[in-house]
Structure 1
Amino acid sequence: MVKNALQAQLLKAGLVDSKKAKKITKQAQHEQRTGQDHKASLIADIEKTQQSKQQKDLELNAEKQKQLEQRTLKANIQQMIQQHKIEKTEGEIAYQFIDEQKIKKIYINQQVYNALVAGSLVVAKATPYVLLATALAERIEQKMEGFILWNKSEENTQTTDENDPYAAYAIPDDLMW
């Protein structure tokens, strides 16, 4: 049981645990018997513990705030994608693109296919894959990466081998099989 009000307050504030309270009690009894005064060191220890706890709390709050901002930004981007997606794109032409090292396929009409090949539309990641205008896709990509899957305007960064006999022959991006 706690013997004085200071210990009760420290326990209630969470600055010390029951072991530390017992230690403080024993030290106080020892000081009374020997006549030594270690209250200043105890107060310094308490302040040091309190400062470290405050620092830890600040770090945890900053991490939580960062995670909250990330979730909010992601939700805002998903809402932008849903509001500005191109409607009525269904058709017979299969369009293939890569998402997370897997080839995905959507069926689109000829007009949308031509716009994708020309680079005025891009494929965006949503619950179903959607098509967006390039200007909006650039704004989304500036805010957070990972939502735009395929963009025709991106440069082809593949390097070719010097001894490749087919290096002179260009492969069209819109090749249909």
Structure 2
Amino acid sequence: MVKNALQAQLLKAGLVDNKKAKKLSKQTLHEQRTGESKDAEVKAKIAQAQQEKLAKDQAIEQEKKAALQEKELKAAIMQMIQQHKIRDTDGEVAYQFLDGKIKKVYINQQIYNALVAGSLVIAKENDSYAFLPKALAERINSKMEGFIIVNNAEKNEATTDEEDPYAAYVIPDDLMW
């Protein structure tokens, strides 16, 4: 009548009656035949948890890859700046520009004229500044913005307005006060 020892002990203790014991044994027999049990629910929950963990790990890995690519791109841009910057810029002409606050660099007249004309730009190089050709600056800006600080070529293009009443009066940018 009772198939296992646990059921026999529960019957003796009076915790389970014969009807309930038969029902439990039929239920276990049915689960064994069909392969269905509460373990299936547990297995499903475990599988779902594994899927969630896998998705979370993939998202973290994606973030790490993106950060690494950004770091590599910054290093490549810094290398481009260091390789192509104009080296002999020391002079007595002061050039002021904004980088958070007003900065002043002393450069020679040729570099000054090129900066004002827009053929050279100022780029941030670690804690200092580098003078780069306009074409290189455009390549750098296409890859990542934030390195080019002064680009007068954009200002020169923006100020050529046909309706400007003072267009006939040219004000030189190299006035010394």
Same fold per TM (> 0.5)?
A: yes
Name the % identity.
56
Q: What residue in structure 2 maps to residue 122 of structure 1?
A: 121
Matching residue of 1:18 = none
CA shift at 1:174, angstroms?
3.3
What SS does structure 2 have at the residue aligned with 1:39? Answer: helix
TM-score by length of 1: 0.70
Return the alpha-carbon distance in structure 1 between the equivalents of residues 69 and 54 of structure 2.
22
Q: Distance in 2 between matches of 1:50 and 1:175?
A: 70
User: Over residues 28-70 of structure 1, what are the superposed CA-to-partner deviations in whole Å (9 max), with x where a residue is unaligned?
Assistant: xxx99x8473010011000000000000001001011101110
Structure with larger Rg: 2
- Match in the other structure for 1:99: 99
Cα offset, 1:90, TM superposition: 0.3
Query: Paired residue for 1:44?
Result: 44
1:66 has 2:95 as partner: no
| TM superposition score normalised by structure 2 | 0.70
1:143 corresponds to: 143
1:116-170 CA distances to partner (integer Å, 9 max, x unpaired)?
Answer: 1121111111131110011111101111001111111113769xxxxxxxx7476
For residue 97 of structure 1, report the CA deviation from its aligned partner.
Answer: 0.6
Distance change (3 Å), C-alpha of 1:98 and 1:120: same
CA distance in 2, matches of 1:95, 1:65: 40
Secondary structure at the residue paired with 1:56? Answer: helix
Q: Secondary structure at the match of 1:155?
A: helix
In the alignment, the residues of structure 2 paired with residue 97 and residue 170 of structure 1 have an alpha-carbon distance, to the nearest angstrom, of 21
Aligned residue identity for 1:123: I
Residue 77 (structure 2) pairs with residue 77 (structure 1): yes
Take 2:66 and 2:60, find their aligned partners in 1: how far apart are those partners? 10
CA distance, structure 2, for counterparts of residue 90 and residue 44 of structure 1: 72
Structure 2: how far apart are the matches of 1:139 and 1:149? 14
CA RMSD after TM alignment = 2.6
Structure 1 residue 172: Cα displacement = 4.3
Higher helix share: 2
Letter aligned with residue 145 of structure 2: E
- Structure 2 unaligned regions, length at least 5: 1-23, 32-36, 160-164
